[in-house]
Structure 1
Amino acid sequence: MKVLISVDMEGISGIVQLAETNPDRYDYERGRALMTAEANAVIAGVLDAEPAAEVWVADAHGPFSNLLPEDLDRRARLVRGKPRPLSMLGGLDEHTDALLLVGYHARAGRGPAVMAHTMSGAVLDVRLNGCPMGEIGLNAAMAGHVGVPVVLLSGDDAACAELDGLVPSAVTVAVKQALGYAAAVALHPAEARERLRPAAAEAVKRRGLIPPLRLGGPLGVEVDLSSPYMVDLATLVPGVSRAEGGRTVTFSAADFADAYQLVLLLVQLASIKPA
Protein backbone atom coordinates (compact mmCIF):
# COMPACT_ATOMS: atom_id res chain seq x y z
CA MET A 1 0.00 0.00 0.00
CA LYS A 2 0.98 3.65 -0.46
CA VAL A 3 0.49 6.33 2.20
CA LEU A 4 1.01 10.07 1.76
CA ILE A 5 1.83 12.25 4.78
CA SER A 6 1.43 15.98 4.10
CA VAL A 7 3.31 18.02 6.72
CA ASP A 8 2.59 21.69 7.41
CA MET A 9 4.27 23.70 10.15
CA GLU A 10 1.82 25.99 11.97
CA GLY A 11 0.09 23.05 13.66
CA ILE A 12 3.23 21.45 15.10
CA SER A 13 3.33 21.26 18.90
CA GLY A 14 5.27 24.11 20.51
CA ILE A 15 5.08 26.33 17.43
CA VAL A 16 2.91 29.41 17.95
CA GLN A 17 4.55 32.37 16.20
CA LEU A 18 5.59 33.33 12.68
CA ALA A 19 9.24 33.56 13.77
CA GLU A 20 9.21 29.77 14.14
CA THR A 21 7.84 29.14 10.63
CA ASN A 22 9.61 31.73 8.47
CA PRO A 23 13.03 30.93 6.94
CA ASP A 24 14.05 34.57 7.38
CA ARG A 25 13.32 34.68 11.11
CA TYR A 26 15.45 33.83 14.11
CA ASP A 27 13.64 30.75 15.47
CA TYR A 28 13.03 28.89 12.19
CA GLU A 29 15.69 26.20 12.64
CA ARG A 30 14.07 25.04 15.87
CA GLY A 31 10.71 24.96 14.10
CA ARG A 32 12.18 22.79 11.33
CA ALA A 33 13.52 20.32 13.88
CA LEU A 34 10.16 20.07 15.65
CA MET A 35 8.38 19.61 12.32
CA THR A 36 10.75 16.83 11.25
CA ALA A 37 10.40 15.02 14.57
CA GLU A 38 6.59 14.98 14.35
CA ALA A 39 6.77 13.74 10.77
CA ASN A 40 9.01 10.90 11.96
CA ALA A 41 6.53 9.93 14.69
CA VAL A 42 3.76 9.62 12.11
CA ILE A 43 5.97 7.67 9.69
CA ALA A 44 6.79 5.24 12.51
CA GLY A 45 3.11 4.84 13.34
CA VAL A 46 2.17 4.10 9.74
CA LEU A 47 4.89 1.47 9.52
CA ASP A 48 3.90 -0.04 12.89
CA ALA A 49 0.51 -0.76 11.31
CA GLU A 50 1.72 -1.60 7.79
CA PRO A 51 5.42 -2.59 7.80
CA ALA A 52 5.46 -3.02 4.02
CA ALA A 53 3.81 0.33 3.25
CA GLU A 54 5.37 2.74 0.77
CA VAL A 55 5.42 6.03 2.70
CA TRP A 56 5.70 9.36 0.93
CA VAL A 57 6.12 12.61 2.88
CA ALA A 58 5.17 15.90 1.24
CA ASP A 59 6.83 18.98 2.73
CA ALA A 60 3.81 21.30 2.64
CA HIS A 61 4.83 24.54 4.34
CA GLY A 62 5.91 27.78 2.69
CA PRO A 63 8.83 27.03 0.36
CA PHE A 64 8.18 23.26 0.68
CA SER A 65 11.78 22.80 1.78
CA ASN A 66 11.53 22.83 5.57
CA LEU A 67 11.85 19.20 6.66
CA LEU A 68 15.44 18.22 7.37
CA PRO A 69 16.16 15.49 4.81
CA GLU A 70 19.09 14.01 6.74
CA ASP A 71 16.95 13.69 9.90
CA LEU A 72 13.83 12.28 8.26
CA ASP A 73 13.10 8.58 8.76
CA ARG A 74 15.04 6.91 5.94
CA ARG A 75 12.16 4.52 5.24
CA ALA A 76 10.12 7.37 3.73
CA ARG A 77 10.39 9.20 0.41
CA LEU A 78 10.47 12.99 0.67
CA VAL A 79 8.58 15.22 -1.80
CA ARG A 80 10.35 18.57 -1.57
CA GLY A 81 10.40 21.91 -3.41
CA LYS A 82 8.03 23.96 -5.56
CA PRO A 83 6.24 24.56 -7.84
CA ARG A 84 4.96 21.03 -8.22
CA PRO A 85 1.75 19.22 -9.16
CA LEU A 86 -0.93 19.31 -6.43
CA SER A 87 1.09 21.64 -4.22
CA MET A 88 0.69 20.51 -0.58
CA LEU A 89 -0.35 17.06 -1.82
CA GLY A 90 2.73 16.38 -3.93
CA GLY A 91 2.89 12.64 -4.55
CA LEU A 92 -0.85 12.02 -4.36
CA ASP A 93 -2.23 9.76 -7.07
CA GLU A 94 -4.84 7.07 -7.66
CA HIS A 95 -2.50 4.47 -6.13
CA THR A 96 -2.50 6.26 -2.75
CA ASP A 97 -4.47 4.40 -0.07
CA ALA A 98 -4.53 7.00 2.71
CA LEU A 99 -3.64 10.64 3.38
CA LEU A 100 -2.44 11.94 6.74
CA LEU A 101 -2.30 15.69 7.45
CA VAL A 102 0.30 16.62 10.07
CA GLY A 103 0.89 20.06 11.59
CA TYR A 104 -2.15 21.61 9.89
CA HIS A 105 -3.93 24.81 10.90
CA ALA A 106 -7.46 26.19 10.72
CA ARG A 107 -8.82 28.24 7.84
CA ALA A 108 -8.71 32.02 7.56
CA GLY A 109 -11.30 33.66 9.76
CA ARG A 110 -11.41 30.94 12.39
CA GLY A 111 -10.49 31.76 15.94
CA PRO A 112 -9.06 31.27 18.35
CA ALA A 113 -6.73 29.33 16.07
CA VAL A 114 -2.94 29.41 15.83
CA MET A 115 -1.77 31.26 12.68
CA ALA A 116 -5.06 30.55 10.92
CA HIS A 117 -4.99 31.30 7.20
CA THR A 118 -5.90 29.77 3.84
CA MET A 119 -2.93 29.06 1.56
CA SER A 120 -1.58 32.61 1.89
CA GLY A 121 -2.04 35.71 3.97
CA ALA A 122 -3.29 37.34 0.77
CA VAL A 123 -6.35 35.08 0.72
CA LEU A 124 -9.06 36.14 3.15
CA ASP A 125 -11.53 33.34 2.36
CA VAL A 126 -12.37 30.63 -0.16
CA ARG A 127 -15.98 29.48 -0.60
CA LEU A 128 -17.23 26.54 -2.64
CA ASN A 129 -20.94 26.76 -3.39
CA GLY A 130 -21.10 29.24 -0.52
CA CYS A 131 -19.31 26.99 2.02
CA PRO A 132 -16.05 28.37 3.52
CA MET A 133 -13.12 26.03 2.86
CA GLY A 134 -9.56 26.23 4.19
CA GLU A 135 -6.46 24.20 3.46
CA ILE A 136 -7.83 21.24 5.41
CA GLY A 137 -11.03 21.08 3.38
CA LEU A 138 -9.40 21.87 0.05
CA ASN A 139 -6.73 19.18 0.46
CA ALA A 140 -9.17 16.62 1.85
CA ALA A 141 -11.52 17.19 -1.08
CA MET A 142 -8.68 17.00 -3.62
CA ALA A 143 -7.67 13.66 -2.14
CA GLY A 144 -11.32 12.59 -2.18
CA HIS A 145 -11.55 13.48 -5.86
CA VAL A 146 -9.12 10.64 -6.60
CA GLY A 147 -10.73 8.34 -4.03
CA VAL A 148 -8.25 8.80 -1.18
CA PRO A 149 -9.51 9.29 2.41
CA VAL A 150 -7.96 11.62 4.97
CA VAL A 151 -7.49 9.29 7.91
CA LEU A 152 -5.59 11.51 10.36
CA LEU A 153 -5.00 15.16 11.15
CA SER A 154 -2.84 16.79 13.81
CA GLY A 155 -2.73 20.45 14.77
CA ASP A 156 -4.40 22.72 17.27
CA ASP A 157 -7.93 22.09 18.57
CA ALA A 158 -9.44 24.42 15.93
CA ALA A 159 -7.81 22.49 13.09
CA CYS A 160 -9.03 19.19 14.54
CA ALA A 161 -12.56 20.54 14.82
CA GLU A 162 -12.40 21.67 11.19
CA LEU A 163 -11.67 18.15 9.96
CA ASP A 164 -14.19 16.65 12.38
CA GLY A 165 -16.86 18.72 10.64
CA LEU A 166 -15.87 17.35 7.24
CA VAL A 167 -14.75 13.77 7.96
CA PRO A 168 -16.14 12.77 11.39
CA SER A 169 -14.67 9.27 11.26
CA ALA A 170 -11.07 10.45 10.80
CA VAL A 171 -8.60 10.35 13.69
CA THR A 172 -7.51 13.74 15.05
CA VAL A 173 -4.73 14.61 17.50
CA ALA A 174 -4.80 18.05 19.11
CA VAL A 175 -1.20 18.82 20.07
CA LYS A 176 -2.09 22.28 21.38
CA GLN A 177 -5.11 24.32 22.46
CA ALA A 178 -5.29 27.69 20.74
CA LEU A 179 -5.54 30.79 22.90
CA GLY A 180 -5.25 33.18 19.96
CA TYR A 181 -3.49 33.72 16.65
CA ALA A 182 -0.02 33.53 18.23
CA ALA A 183 -0.65 31.78 21.56
CA ALA A 184 -1.54 28.27 22.69
CA VAL A 185 -1.27 25.75 25.48
CA ALA A 186 0.95 23.11 23.89
CA LEU A 187 1.88 19.56 24.73
CA HIS A 188 5.56 18.92 25.31
CA PRO A 189 6.95 17.96 21.86
CA ALA A 190 7.91 14.49 23.12
CA GLU A 191 4.39 13.96 24.47
CA ALA A 192 2.91 15.07 21.15
CA ARG A 193 5.06 12.56 19.29
CA GLU A 194 4.10 9.79 21.72
CA ARG A 195 0.44 10.45 20.95
CA LEU A 196 0.93 10.79 17.21
CA ARG A 197 2.63 7.44 16.65
CA PRO A 198 -0.22 5.19 17.90
CA ALA A 199 -2.82 7.53 16.40
CA ALA A 200 -1.22 7.18 12.97
CA ALA A 201 -1.17 3.40 13.32
CA GLU A 202 -4.85 3.37 14.32
CA ALA A 203 -5.80 5.70 11.47
CA VAL A 204 -4.09 3.56 8.83
CA LYS A 205 -5.70 0.40 10.20
CA ARG A 206 -9.13 2.07 9.99
CA ARG A 207 -8.70 3.50 6.50
CA GLY A 208 -11.36 1.22 5.02
CA LEU A 209 -13.95 2.69 7.39
CA ILE A 210 -13.21 6.34 6.55
CA PRO A 211 -14.89 7.64 3.38
CA PRO A 212 -13.13 10.04 1.01
CA LEU A 213 -14.48 13.60 1.05
CA ARG A 214 -16.12 13.97 -2.35
CA LEU A 215 -17.47 17.30 -3.61
CA GLY A 216 -19.32 16.87 -6.87
CA GLY A 217 -19.44 19.52 -9.58
CA PRO A 218 -20.23 21.92 -10.95
CA LEU A 219 -18.82 24.23 -8.29
CA GLY A 220 -19.20 27.96 -7.86
CA VAL A 221 -15.99 29.31 -6.29
CA GLU A 222 -15.47 32.66 -4.55
CA VAL A 223 -12.06 33.85 -3.41
CA ASP A 224 -11.67 36.95 -1.24
CA LEU A 225 -8.29 38.63 -1.75
CA SER A 226 -6.63 41.17 0.51
CA SER A 227 -6.16 43.96 -2.07
CA PRO A 228 -7.81 45.26 -5.24
CA TYR A 229 -4.48 44.89 -7.08
CA MET A 230 -4.63 41.13 -6.52
CA VAL A 231 -8.14 41.12 -7.91
CA ASP A 232 -6.88 42.96 -11.00
CA LEU A 233 -4.32 40.19 -11.59
CA ALA A 234 -6.81 37.41 -10.92
CA THR A 235 -9.27 38.70 -13.51
CA LEU A 236 -6.62 38.28 -16.21
CA VAL A 237 -7.24 34.52 -15.91
CA PRO A 238 -9.91 33.33 -18.37
CA GLY A 239 -13.15 32.52 -16.59
CA VAL A 240 -12.37 34.55 -13.46
CA SER A 241 -14.67 37.53 -12.80
CA ARG A 242 -14.70 40.38 -10.32
CA ALA A 243 -17.59 40.36 -7.87
CA GLU A 244 -19.16 43.45 -6.33
CA GLY A 245 -17.21 44.85 -3.42
CA GLY A 246 -13.75 45.06 -4.99
CA ARG A 247 -11.93 42.19 -3.26
CA THR A 248 -13.76 39.06 -4.39
CA VAL A 249 -13.32 37.04 -7.57
CA THR A 250 -15.54 34.22 -8.75
CA PHE A 251 -15.35 31.36 -11.22
CA SER A 252 -17.12 28.11 -12.04
CA ALA A 253 -15.44 24.70 -12.15
CA ALA A 254 -16.70 21.49 -13.70
CA ASP A 255 -15.25 19.41 -10.88
CA PHE A 256 -13.18 19.77 -7.74
CA ALA A 257 -9.83 19.14 -9.44
CA ASP A 258 -10.41 22.15 -11.72
CA ALA A 259 -11.43 24.28 -8.74
CA TYR A 260 -8.38 23.24 -6.72
CA GLN A 261 -5.90 23.99 -9.50
CA LEU A 262 -7.38 27.43 -10.18
CA VAL A 263 -7.40 28.35 -6.49
CA LEU A 264 -3.69 27.43 -6.37
CA LEU A 265 -3.03 29.66 -9.38
CA LEU A 266 -4.88 32.59 -7.79
CA VAL A 267 -2.81 32.16 -4.63
CA GLN A 268 0.39 32.41 -6.67
CA LEU A 269 -0.85 35.48 -8.54
CA ALA A 270 -1.70 37.11 -5.21
CA SER A 271 1.99 36.95 -4.25
CA ILE A 272 2.96 39.35 -7.06
CA LYS A 273 3.63 42.86 -5.76
CA PRO A 274 2.63 46.06 -7.61
CA ALA A 275 5.32 47.38 -9.96
Structure 2
Amino acid sequence: MKVLISVDMEGISGIVHSTETNPGRYDYERGRALMTAEANAVIAGVLDAEPTAVVWVADAHGPFRNILPEELDRRAHLVRGKPRPLSMLGGLDEHTDAVLLVGYHARAGGGPAVLAHTMSDDILDVRVAGRSFGEIGLNAAMSGHLGVPVALLSGDDTACAELRDLVPSAVTVAVKQALGQATAVALHPEEARERLRRAAADAIMRRALVSPLSIPGPLDVEVDLHSPVTVDLATLVPGVSRAQGGRTVTFTAADFADAYRLVLLLGQLATIKPG
Protein backbone atom coordinates (compact mmCIF):
# COMPACT_ATOMS: atom_id res chain seq x y z
CA MET A 1 0.00 0.00 0.00
CA LYS A 2 0.99 3.63 -0.55
CA VAL A 3 0.40 6.35 2.04
CA LEU A 4 0.90 10.08 1.49
CA ILE A 5 1.63 12.21 4.56
CA SER A 6 1.18 15.93 3.81
CA VAL A 7 2.89 18.02 6.49
CA ASP A 8 2.11 21.69 7.09
CA MET A 9 3.66 23.72 9.90
CA GLU A 10 1.13 25.98 11.59
CA GLY A 11 -0.64 23.04 13.24
CA ILE A 12 2.48 21.51 14.80
CA SER A 13 2.45 21.32 18.61
CA GLY A 14 4.21 24.27 20.23
CA ILE A 15 3.97 26.56 17.20
CA VAL A 16 1.77 29.64 17.61
CA HIS A 17 3.45 32.53 15.75
CA SER A 18 4.55 33.32 12.20
CA THR A 19 8.12 33.96 13.38
CA GLU A 20 8.29 30.20 14.03
CA THR A 21 7.11 29.28 10.53
CA ASN A 22 8.89 31.67 8.17
CA PRO A 23 12.48 31.10 6.96
CA GLY A 24 14.97 33.54 8.41
CA ARG A 25 12.73 34.56 11.29
CA TYR A 26 13.14 34.00 15.02
CA ASP A 27 12.71 30.35 16.04
CA TYR A 28 12.11 29.06 12.49
CA GLU A 29 14.84 26.44 12.93
CA ARG A 30 13.09 25.16 16.04
CA GLY A 31 9.83 25.05 14.08
CA ARG A 32 11.50 22.97 11.36
CA ALA A 33 12.78 20.51 13.94
CA LEU A 34 9.35 20.17 15.56
CA MET A 35 7.74 19.68 12.15
CA THR A 36 10.23 16.97 11.18
CA ALA A 37 9.75 15.16 14.48
CA GLU A 38 5.96 15.05 14.10
CA ALA A 39 6.35 13.75 10.54
CA ASN A 40 8.59 10.99 11.91
CA ALA A 41 6.02 10.05 14.55
CA VAL A 42 3.35 9.63 11.88
CA ILE A 43 5.67 7.64 9.61
CA ALA A 44 6.40 5.30 12.54
CA GLY A 45 2.69 4.86 13.22
CA VAL A 46 1.92 4.03 9.60
CA LEU A 47 4.67 1.41 9.56
CA ASP A 48 3.58 0.02 12.92
CA ALA A 49 0.27 -0.81 11.28
CA GLU A 50 1.56 -1.75 7.80
CA PRO A 51 5.29 -2.59 7.89
CA THR A 52 5.46 -2.98 4.10
CA ALA A 53 3.71 0.31 3.30
CA VAL A 54 5.38 2.72 0.88
CA VAL A 55 5.33 6.10 2.66
CA TRP A 56 5.64 9.42 0.85
CA VAL A 57 5.99 12.65 2.83
CA ALA A 58 5.04 15.91 1.12
CA ASP A 59 6.61 19.01 2.68
CA ALA A 60 3.55 21.25 2.39
CA HIS A 61 4.43 24.51 4.12
CA GLY A 62 5.49 27.79 2.52
CA PRO A 63 8.47 27.10 0.23
CA PHE A 64 7.95 23.32 0.63
CA ARG A 65 11.56 23.14 1.88
CA ASN A 66 11.14 22.99 5.66
CA ILE A 67 11.46 19.35 6.74
CA LEU A 68 15.08 18.49 7.57
CA PRO A 69 15.87 15.70 5.06
CA GLU A 70 18.73 14.26 7.09
CA GLU A 71 16.49 14.00 10.16
CA LEU A 72 13.52 12.40 8.39
CA ASP A 73 12.86 8.68 8.92
CA ARG A 74 14.91 7.00 6.19
CA ARG A 75 12.04 4.63 5.38
CA ALA A 76 10.03 7.50 3.82
CA HIS A 77 10.27 9.25 0.44
CA LEU A 78 10.37 13.06 0.76
CA VAL A 79 8.57 15.26 -1.81
CA ARG A 80 10.31 18.64 -1.56
CA GLY A 81 10.27 21.94 -3.46
CA LYS A 82 7.87 23.92 -5.65
CA PRO A 83 6.11 24.46 -7.98
CA ARG A 84 4.89 20.90 -8.38
CA PRO A 85 1.74 19.04 -9.43
CA LEU A 86 -0.99 19.10 -6.77
CA SER A 87 0.99 21.43 -4.50
CA MET A 88 0.48 20.37 -0.86
CA LEU A 89 -0.48 16.90 -2.08
CA GLY A 90 2.71 16.34 -4.07
CA GLY A 91 2.99 12.61 -4.76
CA LEU A 92 -0.74 11.91 -4.66
CA ASP A 93 -2.10 9.64 -7.38
CA GLU A 94 -4.87 7.13 -7.91
CA HIS A 95 -2.63 4.40 -6.48
CA THR A 96 -2.51 6.10 -3.07
CA ASP A 97 -4.47 4.26 -0.38
CA ALA A 98 -4.68 7.00 2.26
CA VAL A 99 -3.73 10.62 2.88
CA LEU A 100 -2.73 11.85 6.34
CA LEU A 101 -2.71 15.61 6.98
CA VAL A 102 -0.22 16.59 9.70
CA GLY A 103 0.28 20.03 11.23
CA TYR A 104 -2.68 21.56 9.39
CA HIS A 105 -4.50 24.78 10.33
CA ALA A 106 -8.05 26.08 10.05
CA ARG A 107 -9.36 28.12 7.15
CA ALA A 108 -9.37 31.91 7.04
CA GLY A 109 -12.18 33.19 9.22
CA GLY A 110 -12.48 29.87 11.04
CA GLY A 111 -11.16 31.05 14.38
CA PRO A 112 -10.34 31.03 17.11
CA ALA A 113 -7.57 29.10 15.40
CA VAL A 114 -3.79 29.27 15.39
CA LEU A 115 -2.40 31.01 12.29
CA ALA A 116 -5.65 30.46 10.39
CA HIS A 117 -5.54 31.31 6.69
CA THR A 118 -6.32 29.83 3.30
CA MET A 119 -3.17 29.27 1.27
CA SER A 120 -1.94 32.81 1.92
CA ASP A 121 -3.07 36.08 3.44
CA ASP A 122 -4.12 37.15 -0.05
CA ILE A 123 -7.02 34.69 -0.29
CA LEU A 124 -9.83 35.59 2.09
CA ASP A 125 -12.22 32.77 1.25
CA VAL A 126 -12.85 30.00 -1.27
CA ARG A 127 -16.43 28.85 -1.77
CA VAL A 128 -17.23 25.73 -3.76
CA ALA A 129 -20.92 25.28 -4.51
CA GLY A 130 -21.57 27.87 -1.81
CA ARG A 131 -19.52 26.18 0.93
CA SER A 132 -16.33 27.71 2.38
CA PHE A 133 -13.20 25.64 1.99
CA GLY A 134 -9.77 26.17 3.50
CA GLU A 135 -6.68 24.10 2.85
CA ILE A 136 -8.18 21.20 4.77
CA GLY A 137 -11.30 21.04 2.63
CA LEU A 138 -9.49 21.74 -0.63
CA ASN A 139 -6.95 18.99 -0.05
CA ALA A 140 -9.50 16.50 1.27
CA ALA A 141 -11.72 17.05 -1.77
CA MET A 142 -8.77 16.87 -4.19
CA SER A 143 -7.80 13.55 -2.60
CA GLY A 144 -11.40 12.43 -2.81
CA HIS A 145 -11.53 13.30 -6.50
CA LEU A 146 -8.93 10.56 -7.01
CA GLY A 147 -10.83 8.20 -4.72
CA VAL A 148 -8.40 8.56 -1.82
CA PRO A 149 -9.66 9.12 1.75
CA VAL A 150 -8.12 11.54 4.23
CA ALA A 151 -7.80 9.18 7.16
CA LEU A 152 -6.10 11.46 9.71
CA LEU A 153 -5.53 15.11 10.52
CA SER A 154 -3.52 16.77 13.28
CA GLY A 155 -3.51 20.43 14.26
CA ASP A 156 -5.34 22.60 16.74
CA ASP A 157 -8.86 21.76 17.92
CA THR A 158 -10.47 24.06 15.34
CA ALA A 159 -8.62 22.40 12.47
CA CYS A 160 -9.66 18.98 13.73
CA ALA A 161 -13.31 20.05 13.89
CA GLU A 162 -13.03 21.40 10.34
CA LEU A 163 -12.05 17.99 8.97
CA ARG A 164 -14.60 16.11 11.07
CA ASP A 165 -17.32 18.31 9.59
CA LEU A 166 -16.26 17.12 6.12
CA VAL A 167 -15.08 13.58 6.89
CA PRO A 168 -16.74 12.47 10.15
CA SER A 169 -15.03 9.06 10.25
CA ALA A 170 -11.48 10.42 9.98
CA VAL A 171 -9.12 10.21 12.97
CA THR A 172 -8.08 13.61 14.38
CA VAL A 173 -5.41 14.57 16.89
CA ALA A 174 -5.63 17.99 18.56
CA VAL A 175 -2.06 18.77 19.59
CA LYS A 176 -3.11 22.19 20.91
CA GLN A 177 -6.20 24.11 21.93
CA ALA A 178 -6.49 27.39 20.07
CA LEU A 179 -7.09 30.52 22.13
CA GLY A 180 -6.59 32.93 19.23
CA GLN A 181 -4.64 33.60 16.05
CA ALA A 182 -1.29 33.51 17.83
CA THR A 183 -1.93 31.74 21.12
CA ALA A 184 -2.78 28.22 22.24
CA VAL A 185 -2.49 25.68 25.03
CA ALA A 186 -0.18 23.06 23.53
CA LEU A 187 0.73 19.50 24.40
CA HIS A 188 4.36 18.82 25.20
CA PRO A 189 6.00 17.89 21.87
CA GLU A 190 6.87 14.40 23.08
CA GLU A 191 3.30 13.77 24.21
CA ALA A 192 2.02 15.05 20.87
CA ARG A 193 4.32 12.65 19.00
CA GLU A 194 3.24 9.67 21.07
CA ARG A 195 -0.41 10.44 20.35
CA LEU A 196 0.32 10.97 16.66
CA ARG A 197 2.09 7.63 16.35
CA ARG A 198 -0.83 5.77 17.92
CA ALA A 199 -3.39 7.71 15.89
CA ALA A 200 -1.56 7.14 12.60
CA ALA A 201 -1.53 3.39 13.21
CA ASP A 202 -5.24 3.49 14.06
CA ALA A 203 -6.03 5.57 10.97
CA ILE A 204 -4.26 3.11 8.69
CA MET A 205 -5.95 0.09 10.24
CA ARG A 206 -9.42 1.61 9.87
CA ARG A 207 -8.89 3.45 6.56
CA ALA A 208 -11.47 1.27 4.80
CA LEU A 209 -14.14 2.84 7.01
CA VAL A 210 -13.32 6.36 5.80
CA SER A 211 -15.08 7.48 2.63
CA PRO A 212 -13.29 9.81 0.23
CA LEU A 213 -14.72 13.35 0.13
CA SER A 214 -16.34 13.37 -3.30
CA ILE A 215 -17.74 16.61 -4.74
CA PRO A 216 -18.97 16.00 -8.30
CA GLY A 217 -18.85 18.71 -10.92
CA PRO A 218 -19.52 20.95 -12.60
CA LEU A 219 -18.76 23.35 -9.75
CA ASP A 220 -19.39 27.05 -9.28
CA VAL A 221 -16.41 28.55 -7.43
CA GLU A 222 -16.05 31.96 -5.79
CA VAL A 223 -12.74 33.28 -4.45
CA ASP A 224 -12.47 36.42 -2.31
CA LEU A 225 -9.11 38.13 -2.84
CA HIS A 226 -7.40 40.70 -0.65
CA SER A 227 -5.82 42.79 -3.39
CA PRO A 228 -7.67 44.54 -6.23
CA VAL A 229 -4.55 44.00 -8.35
CA THR A 230 -4.93 40.24 -7.95
CA VAL A 231 -8.54 40.54 -9.06
CA ASP A 232 -7.37 42.42 -12.16
CA LEU A 233 -4.83 39.69 -12.95
CA ALA A 234 -7.33 36.91 -12.28
CA THR A 235 -9.75 38.25 -14.88
CA LEU A 236 -7.05 37.68 -17.54
CA VAL A 237 -7.50 33.93 -16.99
CA PRO A 238 -10.07 32.50 -19.44
CA GLY A 239 -13.31 31.70 -17.67
CA VAL A 240 -12.64 33.86 -14.60
CA SER A 241 -14.96 36.83 -14.03
CA ARG A 242 -15.14 39.67 -11.54
CA ALA A 243 -18.19 39.49 -9.31
CA GLN A 244 -20.13 42.49 -8.08
CA GLY A 245 -18.29 44.19 -5.25
CA GLY A 246 -14.84 44.13 -6.83
CA ARG A 247 -13.05 41.70 -4.50
CA THR A 248 -14.54 38.38 -5.61
CA VAL A 249 -13.83 36.38 -8.75
CA THR A 250 -15.92 33.49 -10.01
CA PHE A 251 -15.51 30.59 -12.40
CA THR A 252 -17.10 27.25 -13.24
CA ALA A 253 -14.92 24.14 -13.05
CA ALA A 254 -15.67 20.86 -14.80
CA ASP A 255 -14.59 18.91 -11.71
CA PHE A 256 -12.78 19.40 -8.42
CA ALA A 257 -9.34 18.86 -9.95
CA ASP A 258 -9.89 21.83 -12.28
CA ALA A 259 -11.19 23.93 -9.38
CA TYR A 260 -8.20 22.99 -7.22
CA ARG A 261 -5.65 23.90 -9.89
CA LEU A 262 -7.27 27.24 -10.65
CA VAL A 263 -7.39 28.19 -6.97
CA LEU A 264 -3.66 27.36 -6.80
CA LEU A 265 -3.07 29.64 -9.78
CA LEU A 266 -4.99 32.49 -8.12
CA GLY A 267 -2.76 32.06 -5.09
CA GLN A 268 0.31 32.45 -7.29
CA LEU A 269 -1.14 35.49 -9.04
CA ALA A 270 -1.52 37.09 -5.61
CA THR A 271 2.27 37.13 -5.26
CA ILE A 272 2.59 39.50 -8.26
CA LYS A 273 2.80 43.11 -7.16
CA PRO A 274 2.24 46.15 -9.40
CA GLY A 275 5.39 47.55 -10.99
TM-score class normalised by the smaller sequence: over 0.9
CA offset at residue 273 of structure 1? 1.0
Q: How does 1:1-275 map to 2 (within 5 A)?
A: 1-275=1-275
CA RMSD, 1 decimal: 0.4
Cα separation, 2, equivalents of 1:159 and 1:271: 25
Cα separation, 1, equivalents of 2:77 and 2:204: 18
Cα separation, 2, equivalents of 1:172 and 1:195: 10
Matching residue's letter, 1:25: R
SS at match of 1:99: strand
SS at match of 2:165: helix
SS at match of 1:45: helix
Paired positions, count: 275
Query: CA offsets, 1:188-221, max 9 Å, x none?
Result: 0000001000100000000111000000001000
Cα separation, 1, equivalents of 2:171 and 2:190: 19
Cα separation, 2, equivalents of 1:129 and 1:197: 36
Query: CA offsets, 1:32-61, max 9 Å, x none?
Result: 000000000000000000000000000000
SS at match of 2:136: helix
Query: CA offsets, 1:3-55, max 9 Å, x none?
Result: 00000000000000000000021210000000000000000000000000000
Cα separation, 2, equivalents of 1:55 and 1:62: 22
Matching residue's letter, 1:167: V
CA offset at residue 227 of structure 1? 1.3
Matching residue's letter, 1:9: M
SS at match of 2:139: helix
SS at match of 2:184: strand
Query: CA offsets, 1:146-198, max 9 Å, x none?
Result: 00000000000000000000000000000000000000000000000010001
Cα separation, 2, equivalents of 1:225 and 1:27: 30
Structure 1: which 5+ runs fail to align? none
Cα separation, 2, equivalents of 1:122 and 1:264: 12
CA offset at residue 274 of structure 1? 1.2
Structure 2: which 5+ runs fail to align? none
Matching residue's letter, 2:190: A
